[in-house]
């Protein structure tokens, strides 16, 4: 028997077999639901009786929900399922949905590009946030709050300087950078002392060691 099978091709043995290769299949709109769900949706669109079509739609939604039980606690979970059903139906579905059927543009349009602030940064090792915070400090009224902010900024700048350059830096260098970045508008108190370089490096080394564990 085996020798007889070997002498024939599969097409001769099963001539009416309809081979279903992945390369010839229609691309899935939402692959996470699988091809069987997509076929159900395609069949749903072909149901002529509206009542039967509504019943079938609810059955498919139930199956889709069972495929994602970990998402059931999400408040708009059901709404998302109905949106996904509309998407898989290519927005061509006449049913009584409990939610307003979404427009094609709503689910297929690309999100707006997040604007990125461009422009040169004079001291890149400090980052753009420091530049912005210096602008905030400039606008503040003179007093204790402003002095505390300047001290906070100076210490953070010293930490950033050491993180990028990994060498010694004096407080005078940091104070001069603040003067340059503020256009001379920020005044440093004469008795201001920043965190010691050795303490900053030791703390940074400790954090790095803890991350490795």
pLDDT tens digits, one per residue of 183-196: 999 999 988 999 88
43 shares its domain with 70: yes
145 shares its domain with 74: no
DSSP secondary structure letters along the chain? -HHHHHTS-HHHHSTT-----GGGSPPPSSGGGHHHHHHHHHHHHH---HHHHHHHHHHHHHHHHHT-GGGTTSTTHHHHHHHHHHHHTTT------SSPPPPHHHHHSPPPPPP---S--SSGGG-HHHHHHHHHHHHSPSSHHHHHHHHHHHHHHHHHHHHHH-S---HHHHHHHHHHHTTT-S---TT--PPPHHHHHHHHHHHHHHHH-
Q: Quick one: pLDDT band at residue 4, thresholds 50, 70, 90?
A: very low
For residue 110, give both structure tokens: 């690309």
Mean pLDDT of 7-13: 39
Instruction: Report if residue 95 sits inside a domain.
Output: yes
Domain total of the chain: 2
Instruction: Report if residue 116 sits inside a domain.
Output: no
Query: pTM score, two decimals?
Result: 0.43
Last residue of a domain, one of 108, 136, 166: 108
13 shares its domain with 103: yes
68 shares its domain with 131: no
pLDDT tens digits, one per residue of 100-145: 888 877 766 666 665 555 556 677 778 788 888 899 999 999 999 9
Instruction: Report if residue 170 sits inside a domain.
Output: yes
Instruction: Report if residue 78 sits inside a domain.
Output: yes
Say how far apart CA 167 and CA 181 lie, in whole Å.
22
Average pLDDT over the chain, rounded to an integer: 79
206 CB-contact burial (10 Å; exposed 0-12 / middle 13-18 / buried 19+): exposed
| Domain encompassing residue 26 | 8-108
Say how far apart CA 108 and CA 83 lie, in whole Å.
11
Instruction: Report if residue 204 sits inside a domain.
Output: no
Say how far apart CA 46 and CA 177 lie, in whole Å.
71
């Amino acid at each position: 028997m085996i020798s007889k099978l070997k002498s024939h091709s599969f097409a001769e043995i099963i001539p009416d077999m309809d081979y279903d290769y992945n390369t010839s299949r229609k691309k899935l709109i939402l692959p996470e639901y699988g091809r069987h769900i997509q076929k159900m949706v395609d069949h749903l669109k072909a149901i002529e009786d509206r009542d039967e079509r509504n019943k079938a739609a609810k059955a498919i939604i139930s199956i889709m929900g069972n495929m994602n039980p970990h998402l059931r606690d999400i408040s708009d979970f059901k709404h998302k399922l109905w949106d996904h059903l509309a998407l898989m139906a290519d927005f061509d579905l006449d049913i009584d949905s409990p939610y307003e059927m979404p427009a094609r543009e709503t689910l297929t349009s690309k999100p707006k590009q997040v604007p990125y602030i461009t422009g040169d940064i004079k001291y890149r090792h400090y980052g753009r946030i420091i530049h912005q915070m210096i602008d905030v400090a400039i606008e503040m009224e003179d007093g204790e709050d402003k002095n505390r902010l300047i001290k906070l900024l100076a210490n953070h700048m010293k930490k950033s300087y050491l993180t990028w350059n990994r060498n010694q830096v004096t407080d005078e260098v940091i104070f001069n950078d603040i003067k340059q970045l503020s256009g001379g508008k920020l005044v440093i108190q004469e008795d201001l002392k920043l965190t010691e370089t050795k303490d900053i490096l030791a703390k940074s080394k400790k954090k790095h060691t803890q991350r490795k564990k």
